[in-house]
Structure 1
Amino acid sequence: MIALRNKEFRTVLIFTLITISIFSLIGFRTNKIFGILLLAQGVLLSVYFISLTLYRYNQIKKLSAYLKKIQQGEYSLDIRDNKEGELSILKSEIYKVTNMLSEYNEKLKNDKILLSEHMADISHQLKTPLTSMMVMVDLLKDENLPADKRKQFTSQIYAQLERIEWLVTSLLTISKLDADVIEMKQVRIKAGDLIQSAVEPVLIPMELKEIDLSVSGEDNIITCDPHWMREALLNILKNCIEHTMPGGKLKISVNDNPLYSEIVIEDTGVGISKEDLPYIFTRFYRGKNSSSDSVGIGLAMSRSIILRQGGDISVKSVEGQGSTFTVKLYKSVI
């Protein structure tokens, strides 16, 4: 019998039998009928105790088999019996843990698939410029190559290296955001100063395309991490400028209310198609209106930065009329 292997069970059983024997002998010496009653009561209690113990061991055996199946990856089993008692509570708790393990395992599978897809995307993004540079380097080995061609190839190699550097830096930034190792500081800053720092790096591209910029609400105060919010806004602005035709307009407005601070960036560009709109913040996603140099990581990084500061970002767009990006920085958790 499996139960007899348990030392505690053996100890209690021996103690029970000894106790029954002693009290039965005392009972028989006092009165024969009284002794029989004591013996019968002891036997019944012993049978009940053994039956209950065997039932518990049987239930534990089933739990053990259930746990072995869980180890084999069968998370769909349900052992709850909706009864009262320690075993029923234990079954319910094991079932809860099983569900947690199932969800965690599913998340790990999804993360592996996502990581694999990202690695494939990164490989593709790096392979294209590297292949181009290898071809140009081979051409530069030609001693008879004209000076103007040599200068052109050198300039193109430098541009490709800059692109790779930006891609690697952006990927490292997103990895840090995903790992939650970047501490966002909450600082009160004037909206005009924040916007100016974000616009400054793109002033030359805007001037070359003759894009008219207008800013309103500069006196509002925004609470955020100035460094990272500048990075988020800069990526949005780059996207707007990239898709705005020469002579277009770019408008930035800052609004404030008791719930949140709002930064709205509007352009008069080519817009985003309805098919691309739901995926515009997805990493490495390139819509049909994207340029050939687009990587599809800037807006995804902006979204990660804004979410890490307890904010939100959304976009509305009509093809041929432009796009409107709305950034909300909440003043409290809602």
Structure 2
Amino acid sequence: MSLLEQLKTMTVVVADTGDFESIKEFKPRDATTNPSLILAATEDEKYQRLIEQAVVYAKTKGGSKEEKLTICMDKLSVNFGTEILKIVPKRVSTEVDARLSFDTEATLAKARQLIKLYADEGIPKEKILIKVASTWEGIKAAEILEKEGIHCNLTLLFSMAQTIACAEAKVQLISPFVGRIYDWYKKDRSVDDIPVSEDPGVASVTEIFKYYKKYGYKTEVMGASFRKAGEITELAGCDLLTISPKLLKELDEMDGTLEQKLKADDLGDYNQPKISLDEKAFRWMLNEDAMATEKLAEGIRKFAADIVKLEAKIREKL
């Protein structure tokens, strides 16, 4: 078996893409999207029909041009998710507008609207993970949504503060960003590379996995944002890993024996004490982590910028 085939026996493999052909090729169980991936996909002519469908839908709803734009953007996200669910057997993650990352009420409204649009397509909420940035406000929104049976994927996660708050909020799934942590430390240390055995992104997900398993949290851990195949193989055994088509292909072409590195029933000598966080403690703990503070803010800005670019394309068609 290839390394990818072996990985699938240890970990749920998720496709990190908006490209349907890649999803079909590598047969993941789930798929994740974000504004950047959808923006990239809409550059491809074969996805223009999804934009056109969203535009027609928005035009039938009335309201101002800006209201139509909002409707169209939501519908476009759902169109992509709906098509992906024709390929993957389980779930798709659909992201809330990053510009709402510090607004709990607006995040709730957007999440419920996305779920309604999926329901209109005959897709039950159990098939959807609503993706929300791991800000305090996002985590609080997810806590409410989970009680409503709307499951959430807390993204842009870089720290134990976010990890602990998500677990206490009983969210369905978190996405710690391995590659972006690696990027930050590589720049901070002024080096061209960090060996996988010393990779701070890999170490972060390993710590999160062990913390959740030690204290019996049900929140799923899905490593994300990988830069190289070695980061993925070091996390074999993690609950889920969401992987780009490029790295899926690389793993599919690699032979050898894959060792399961993470095991829920074998945490070694892990003894991190259990922590509980209120808002003040969360904000202070996050503030004390320069990498997490910077990467969270940067990630929100980048996703927001890609939403603005996508809106510009849609606005022309409305």
Report if TM-score (shorter chain) is over 0.5: no
Bigger helix fraction? 1
TM-score bracket for this pair, using the shorter chain length: under 0.3
Structure with the larger RCO, 1 or 2 (CA within 8 Å, 6+ apart): 2
TM-score computed with the length of structure 2 as normaliser: 0.21
Bigger Rg over Cα: 1
TM value normalised by structure 1: 0.21
